[in-house]
């Protein structure tokens, strides 16, 4: 297992009330049966409210992009794929994504 995936798993272990599952065939983290984060192509993916400050901040990071698991140029507007370059921020983004999903 690569260090990116190890960090993803550590974050899943640190956060409370989180279940590790699958979404689109890749690992994901869920709270209350709702996915809020995923691991895809050595990146973490976070579900964040469109128009929120955190969504704008995360999307503005170099290399971050809207998540497009189909590869058919149909990105998911709430989901942002964040490269390992920002590994130090992954836990904060995961907490924000978890909080967002808990309020839905």
- Give me the percent of the chain exceeding a pLDDT of 90: 93
**Which residues, 6 or more positions from 62, have their beta carbon under 8 angstroms from its beta carbon?**
85
Q: Terminus-to-terminus CA distance in the chain, angstroms?
A: 33
Mean pLDDT confidence for 50-73: 96
Mean pLDDT confidence for 7-35: 96
Taking only the tens place, the pLDDT of each residue in 63-97 is 999 999 988 999 999 999 999 999 999 999 999 99
pTM: 0.95
Confidence category of residue 7, pLDDT binned at 50, 70, 90 = very high
Listed residue (56, 47, 51, 58) closest to 100, CA to CA = 47
Listed residue (57, 54, 62) closest to 36, CA to CA = 54
Indicate the fold that domain 3-102 takes in CATH. Answer: Yope Regulator; Chain: A, (3.30.1460)
DSSP state of 16: T
Q: Evaluate if residue 1 carries a pLDDT over 90.
A: no
Question: What does pLDDT average to over the chain?
Answer: 96
């Amino acid at each position: 297992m690569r260090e990116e995936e190890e960090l993803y798993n550590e974050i899943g272990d640190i956060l409370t009330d989180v279940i590790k599952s699958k979404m689109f065939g890749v690992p994901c983290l869920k709270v209350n049966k709702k996915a809020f984060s995923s691991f895809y192509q050595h990146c973490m993916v976070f579900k964040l409210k469109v128009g929120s400050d955190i969504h704008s901040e995360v999307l503005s990071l170099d290399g971050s992009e809207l998540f497009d698991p189909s590869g058919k140029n149909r990105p998911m507007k709430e989901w942002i794929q964040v490269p390992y370059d920002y590994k130090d921020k992954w836990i904060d983004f995961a907490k924000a994504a978890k909080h967002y999903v808990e309020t839905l």
